[in-house]
Homo-oligomer: A and B are copies of this chain.
Amino acid sequence: MSKENLNEKIVSLCANRGIIFPSAEIYGGVAGFFDYGPVGVTLKNRIRSFWRSEFIIKMNSIYEIESSIILPRIVWEASGHLEGFTDVLVECKKCQTQYRADHLIQDTLKIATDGKSFEELSEILIKNTIKCPNCKGELASTQKFNLMFKTHIGAAKQSVNEAFLRPETAQAMFIDFKRIQQTMRASLPFGIAQIGRSYRNEISPRNFLFRLREFEHLEIEFFVHPAGKDDLPDELWAKVKDLQVAILSIPQQEKEEEAKLMKASEILEQRIFSCKWLLYWTLISYDWLVRVGLDPSKLRLRQHMLNERAHYAADCWDIEFQYSFGWKELQGIADRTDYDLKKHSKFSKKELNIHLTEENIKVVPHVIEPSWGLERVIQALLESAYVEEKERTLFKFNSYIAPFQIAVFPLMKNREEIVERSKEITTNLKQFNFQILYDEKSSIGRRYRRVDEIGVPFAVTIDFDTLEDNTVTVRDRDSMEQERVPIKNLAEMFQKRLSFI
């Protein structure tokens, strides 16, 4: 199966099974917006829960917040987004089609454009006399286009009422930093985490879930003492020290080398990362992605080149996934230094620092930020879990990530005792909060295929023997093996097999 095919097949399966499909599709849809059906929502919920469990509940000193998505203009002045969160836009003079300049150059000239400035992109377009791919018309001059969605709070349409949908959840964590630090009585190091939607008015949304206009972020701002960026506790290093990951550092990229497998301890020794906390957050993020179910052979860590690194970052890494459309960023991990806290402190005239009582000094912490795009995780997971076998297509989701967990099938729908017993078993299992798909329509074989297709790990079939001996058939999605299990053991068995704790 070719790579292009893989994405097409996933897009089509997702639509056909109501997993993920275009928003407002009866009106023709809008590029960059998708809706999630029952399977898709539950997949999202499982990933969110698994993330919350591993990065908040089980960790120490990570505090979750939920901020508003609409934030007033001043926040984005302070953060620099109003000035700098732009892409280069170019429009066809003839047909008015709009293009993102770097994408247009990539697609037309097949050259990389990472880190190219507005001036550089404009020059390339002119030098190569690139025309509109749509109508061959002449292109107008390039312009900077701010990617934030703008709206107004209140009735007046004045700049003082301007507000923007957040393009990242991070800024609210800087704004709320002091409130959280004080009310949770947190001392350094500690983190603030947030799960929620972000908005980017992309010029050219593309690649299914990869580049969207409305999507979800999972972000942590981890605050460390500026002098303690290498002070990682031993018990945390122990969690990642045996990992082995594919690495692509700046020197490797300069020499046009391939990514190479390295042990965590080697990476540490060679000081490839700006600090040990940055390395830790990168490795623990990588480990989590593998446990979600991403194919590790398609993951690598790539360091940002100096010209693509944000001006405030001391170091920045991407966890990249080899999507069917190429190696692309799935998650970013940045050493943001004290840039954001200082900027908000300046604009709000509030002190955003921590008073260290023992030394009696005030310190502005540095920030390590791991930032995941939930939809990019989902895209990578769908590509990793999709399997075609001779007679069936399936998503091999990990049992604790699978959306629907158990299918319940009466062998035949016209035998009342069997149907009744099946419904009774469904109701009982639902008491344990298992997400269950009950289905009595069509043959058992077809029902198995249907639940394989949406990755249900277990199917329970109720048959004539059930009525005699109170046992059922439990069929495993991956091995297709069947075992006979007493009804009274089902709940406990599934609790064990479906749990990640």
The residues of A with any CB-CB pair to B shorter than 8 Å are: 16-18, 21, 23-27, 30, 32-38, 40-42, 44, 53, 57-58, 60, 63-72, 74-75, 89, 91, 98, 145, 149-156, 163, 165, 172, 175-176, 178-180, 182-185, 197, 199, 201, 203, 213-214, 344, 347-348, 350, 352, 430-436, 438, 441, 501
- For A175, what are the chain B residues with a Cβ–Cβ distance below 8 Å? 24-27
In the complex with contacts A68-B214, A153-B213, A27-B98 CB distance below 8 A: no
Number of copies: 2
In the assembled complex, the Cα of A293 lies from the Cα of B40 at a distance in Å of 31
Taking CB atoms, residues of chain B closer than 8 Å to A213 are: 70, 153
Please indicate the chain B residues that have their CB under 8 angstroms from the CB of A438 in the complex. Answer: 60
New A-B contacts (8) at CB < 8 Å, excluding given A24-B172, A68-B214, A98-B156: A24-B74, A25-B175, A25-B176, A25-B179, A26-B350, A37-B179, A38-B65, A70-B214
**Which residues of B have CB within 8 Å of A91?**
155
CB of A327 to closest CB in B, whole Å: 28
Q: Which of A64, A165, A213 has the most CB of B within 10 A?
A: A64
Given the known inter-chain contacts A26-B344, A201-B153, please indicate yes or no for A66 contacting B40, CB distance below 8 A: yes
Report how far A156 CA is from B172 CA in the complex, Å.
Answer: 29
> B179–A151 contact, CB under 8 A?
no
Cα(A348)–Cα(B436), bound, Å: 33
Using Cβ atoms and an 8 Å threshold, which residues of chain B touch A35? 65-68, 172, 176
A-B contacts, 13 of them at CB < 8 A, read A24-B175, A26-B350, A27-B74, A30-B163, A33-B70, A35-B66, A40-B66, A44-B66, A57-B430, A69-B197, A89-B155, A152-B201, A154-B201
Q: For the complex, give the distance between the alpha carbons of A352 and B151 in Å.
A: 32
> Shortest CB–CB separation between residue A12 and chain B, in angstroms?
12
Cβ contacts under 8 Å, A74 to chain B: 24, 27
Also in contact, A183 and B18, with CB within 8 A (given A37-B65, A65-B38, A175-B24): yes
Contact A23 B199 (CB under 8 A): no
Q: Name the distance in Å between A163's Cβ and chain B's nearest Cβ.
A: 7
Interface contact B68-A98, CB-CB below 8 Å: no
Q: Kindly list chain B residues whose C-beta atoms are within 8 Å of the C-beta of A436.
A: 57
B155/A75 in contact, CB under 8 A: no
Q: Are B67 and A178 in contact, with the CB atoms below 8 A?
A: no
Instruction: Determine if B185 and A75 form an interchain contact, defined as CB atoms under 8 angstroms apart.
Output: no
